[in-house]
């Protein structure tokens, strides 16, 4: 892919998988706008990644602010070629203890905000008539049942369905839409999920044929591939990157 003048948005780009994706994009000469709520994390990322990284502070759960956010990015950079919907939240809690408010909070961030941001970015892509790439972040929680993450599981199943529907509708306009389903990746979110739960961690490791957890860089490499011309005939795919966990026994 010729990356000159390419512009990408990576949500949740201040840490973890999002930061790794932003770093990989910048290394390949893609101007990358990282969006998140933590201004310090974003500025730290900017310092690390250099002049091709542009931090934008924003809370994507404030849906009414999203059109203005996208408009300001277009005004500043002229176009958006790649959108990575990486931002998300999780909650580890017994099914019967999850409140309606907690369930809706997860779906707001993980599903509705993804839809709203994608809609506004796609409007710009269609106006420019230059195609584009959207990469959604799915999860193994959409591949099979995981206990104590009911809202997260529901949200990632929704992402898979949205990815396919978006791909069918947008591909005729040159906009490819795919999703990545990470396995157990070494991040702060994974550490929180495994905290005080060695049985859960041992079970996860035991069914991963490669015998190790992945790194954020593994997801970043996949995102770069899906964003590139090497994947120009791939759309509507949910790609597991999980060391074989989803097919392990």
Residues paired with residue 8 on neighbouring β-strands, in sequence order: 32, 82
> How many residues are present in the chain?
249
CA gap 181, 106 in Å, rounded = 18
Q: Which residues contact 185 (CB under 8 A, 6 or more apart)?
A: 17, 213, 214, 215, 216, 218, 219
| DSSP result, 104-148 | HHHHIIIIIHHHHHHHHHHHHHHHHTS-EEEEEE--GGGTS--TT
Tokens encoding 164: 């396919």
Q: Which of 17, 106, 152, 177 is catalytic?
A: 152
For residue 114, what are the CA distances in angstroms to 11, 98, 117, 147, 156?
9, 22, 5, 24, 11
Residues paired with residue 33 on neighbouring β-strands, in sequence order: 9, 54
Q: Which residues contact 102 (CB under 8 A, 6 or more apart)?
A: 91, 93, 151
Please answer whether residues 12 and 88 qualify as being in contact, where contact means their C-beta atoms are separated by less than 8 angstroms. Answer: yes
Catalytic residue check, 152 = yes
Please answer whether residues 213 and 186 qualify as being in contact, where contact means their C-beta atoms are separated by less than 8 angstroms. Answer: yes
The catalytic site residues sit at: 152
């Amino acid at each position: 892919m010729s990356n000159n003048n390419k512009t990408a948005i990576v949500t949740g780009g201040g840490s973890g998988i999002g930061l790794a994706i932003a770093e990989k994009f910048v290394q390949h000469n893609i101007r990358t706008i990282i969006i998140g709520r933590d201004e310090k994390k974003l500025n730290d990322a900017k310092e690390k990644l250099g002049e091709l990284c542009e931090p934008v502070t924003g809370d994507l759960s404030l849906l009414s602010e999203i059109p203005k956010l996208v408009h300001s990015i277009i005004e500043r950079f002229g176009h958006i070629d790649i959108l990575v919907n990486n931002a998300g939240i999780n909650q580890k809690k017994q099914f019967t203890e999850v409140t309606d408010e907690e369930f809706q909070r997860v779906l707001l961030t993980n599903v509705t905000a993804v839809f709203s941001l994608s809609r506004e970015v796609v409007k710009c892509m269609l106006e420019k008539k230059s195609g584009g790439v959207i990469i959604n972040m799915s999860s193994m929680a959409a591949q099979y049942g995981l206990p104590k993450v009911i809202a997260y599981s529901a949200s990632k199943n929704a992402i898979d369905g949205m990815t396919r529907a978006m791909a069918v509708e947008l591909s005729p306009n040159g906009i490819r839409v795919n999703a990545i389903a990470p396995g157990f990746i070494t991040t702060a979110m994974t550490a929180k999920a495994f905290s005080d739960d060695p049985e859960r961690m041992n079970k996860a490791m035991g069914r991963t044929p490669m015998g190790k957890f992945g790194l954020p860089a593994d997801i970043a490499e996949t995102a770069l591939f899906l964003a590139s011309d090497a994947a120009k005939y791939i759309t509507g795919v949910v790609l597991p990157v999980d060391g074989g966990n989803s097919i392990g026994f």
